[in-house]
Amino acid sequence: MIAGLIEEAGFERVVAIDLHAPEIEGFFRIPLEHLSAAKLLADAVRTTSDTVIVAPDLGAVKLAERYQALLHLPVVVLHKTRVSGSEVSLRSIIGDVKDKAPLIVDDMITTGATIEAAAKGLLQAGCKPNVSVVATHALFVGPAVARLQTLPIQQLIGTNSVEATTELPAHFQVVNLAPLIADTIARLHRDQSLENLLAHS
C-alpha cells in the first residue's frame, strides 16, 4: 500500500537504505535503489582478532555476510523465537563464541528484545563481556534504551536514518548517512553506476 501511495504521489524513483526485507523491492513499479550502510558502519566499529560477527536471527545472515566481506571476521548465527512484539527467546547458537568478542549486526533496533536475547545468550555461552552492536536504523522504541543499558555493550553504533524521538543511550555513536545519500543523488543525476553502494553488491 505504501509503495502504491508513493507512486501515486508522483515520485519517479525511491532510494532506500537497508530495507528490513529485500522482498519490499518487489512492491515498487518505479525504480528503487536499495543501498547499504554496512561500509560506513564497518568503518566506524572497532574490532580485535577475537571478534566474531553475530547474526542475531536468520533474517540477518545476509547482512552479517556483508560485514564479513568488509571486516574479514567469522560469522556466528543465532536462532530465535519471537514470543511477542517485545519479547524474544534464543533457541540455539551456530558457531564458536567461547572467549570471543561478539559484534551483533542487524538492520534495526526497535524494542531491543532481539539484542537483549542475543547478548544474554552469547554471555551464557562463554563469550567475552564486551559486546558490540551495529544497526542501521536506531528506533529505540518503548523499553529499548533501558534494556540496552543493562547489557555489557562497549560499542553501540547506528545511523541518523531516523530522527531521535526519545533519549538516546549515553554511549550511542551516530554515523552520518548524508555523504552516502549525496553520493547516490550525484551518481543518479550523472547516470553513473551505483553498484558498489547497493545492498546486494
Return the active site residues: 80
Q: Terminal CA-to-CA distance of the chain, rounded, Å?
A: 28
CA angle 78-83-85, nearest 5°?
100
Q: What nine digits make up the cell of 102?
A: 561478539
Q: What nine digits make up the cell of 21?
A: 526485507
Q: What nine digits make up the cell of 120?
A: 544474554
CA angle 96-115-151, nearest 5°?
90
Q: CA 171 from chain center: how many Å?
A: 17
Helix, strand, or coil (residue 11): coil
Q: CA 109 from chain center: how many Å?
A: 8
Cell 547516470 belongs to 191
**Distance from C-alpha of 142 to C-alpha of 119, rounded to nearest angstrom:** 19
Quick check: 158 and 136 in contact, CB under 8 A?
A: yes
What length is written for the chain? 201
